[in-house]
Amino acid sequence: MDKLVKLPRETQAVIGGSVLYLIFSFLDWQQVSIGPISAGASEWHGVGIIAGLLVIAVLVWEAVRLMGMKVELGPVTPGQLSAVLPLLLLLFTIITFFSHSTARHWPAWIGLILSIVIAAGALMRAKGEDVHLPVPKPTSTE
């Protein structure tokens, strides 16, 4: 526990936000109530499955980094992967948020906010680690 407290705030935001996001992903992102009866669907429905798997990937990758394991990723640096995974999580959370807009329930809003916090923390950490994300080169139409 002391090791987690000593981590930089950006890393704490990524890890803590990801754990909370995973918990909230199992709550009803859509819910309809008629009297005492309620029915709903969690994020783990439709395209939300991708976001759920991405948050698990973020947590696994952060655990790998915390343990100091060296993983060969080819041309991708560990810092780049630490920035790209949360950005993909944000993208698929936004897609899920808008595709599950019927009867949207409060956990969807929390999930959206958490994905923004996770991505912001990851980008701030990437900036501090001097990580440069690859930018695709424009194609010529000549």
43 closest CA partner among 57, 31, 56, 28: 28
Question: Is 142 inside any structural domain?
Answer: no
Domain that holds residue 106: 7-28+40-128
Question: Do the Cβ atoms of 92 and 53 come closer than 8 Å?
Answer: no
Mean pLDDT by 10 residues, the chain (142 residues): 81 95 96 91 93 97 91 87 96 95 93 97 93 75 65
Helix orientation angle between 106-128 and 9-25, rounded to the nearest 10 degrees: 150
The predicted model scores a pTM of 0.88
Q: How many domains does the chain have?
A: 1
Strands (E), 1-142: 28-34, 37-42
Question: Domain for residue 103, yes or no?
Answer: yes
What is the CATH classification number for the domain harbouring 77? 1.20.120
Residues with Cβ < 8 Å from 129, sequence gap 6 or more? 79
